[in-house]
Amino acid sequence: MNMDGDGNSSRLMDDDPPPPPEDYSHDFNPNHEIVADISSCLQVNPKWVVQACYRTQKQFTNIEQTREEIFAYVLENHPRFVELAPPLEDTLAEADDGETNELKMVLVINNEINMGAGKMAAQVAHAAVDLYAILIGNKEWIGLVQKWKEEGAKKVVVACKDTEHLFDLKDDAINAGLKCAYITDAGLTQVPSASVTCLAVFGLSSNVNKVTGTLKLV
């Protein structure tokens, strides 16, 4: 997993206070890989993620089935994420230049890598969730995220030619002031280790289209 944009430092996670003590049942055994992955992604104390695992009462054997629920619990309960967001009007003030204020997230699949439908769906989900974590951790963007969700959280999946093309798109997105995240796969199934599988880009549709508008839908 990789993030680009204004990612928080690891110090934030180290200094993060734990949640109130929880009396876990003796048979509770969360997936430590998932705990480490999500706590690193959100830059929170791992005990918050352990509590999320326990409270959602899931058997964490498949990361694609549970990441969203664990993320949601932490985002709804961790003090850092429940602080009031800036007024939406202020967030949109600079963006309102007469063009549509519609927001969207575009997920770009790396066509160079041979992935089955299930694997591809998993990589798209990882990229979307990781970018969402970046966005809600940034007070300058959280108002836009709220608006995006109210609009239906539009997401579009497209494909790029190869890894070099994907990184060119990432650089273009950052230079355009958009937020993005890309996924590097561990190589446990189907694809070689360290394969860059998917890029997620978020922002005003008019700006995102300048970066991804020529790519074909998947």
Tell me the β-bridge partners of 56.
none
Amino acid at 124: V
Amino acid at 121: A
Give residue-wise pLDDT tens across range 119-164: 999 899 989 988 988 888 777 888 888 889 888 899 999 999 999 9
DSSP summary character for residue 214: T
What is the sign, positive or negative, of the torsion defined by CA atoms of 135, 138, 139, 141? negative
The predicted structure's pLDDT at residue 155: 94
Determine how β-strand 2-3 pairs with β-strand 216-217. Answer: unpaired
Q: Residue 7: how many CB atoms within 10 A of its CB?
A: 16
Q: Residue 94: how many CB atoms within 10 A of its CB?
A: 8
The predicted structure's pLDDT at residue 44: 82
Tell me which CATH code domain 89-217 carries.
Answer: 3.40.1490.10
- Low-confidence stretches of the chain (pLDDT < 70) are 1-15, 26, 57-68, 80-100
The predicted structure's pLDDT at residue 137: 75
Secondary structure of 145-205 in the HEC alphabet?
HHHHHHCCCCEEEEEECCHHHHHHHHHHHHHCCCEEEEEECCCCCCCCCCCEEEEEEEEEH
Domain boundaries, the chain: 2-82, 89-217
Among candidate residues 210, 207, 205, the one with its CA nearest the CA of residue 156: 205
The tokens describing 123, both together, are 């990589």
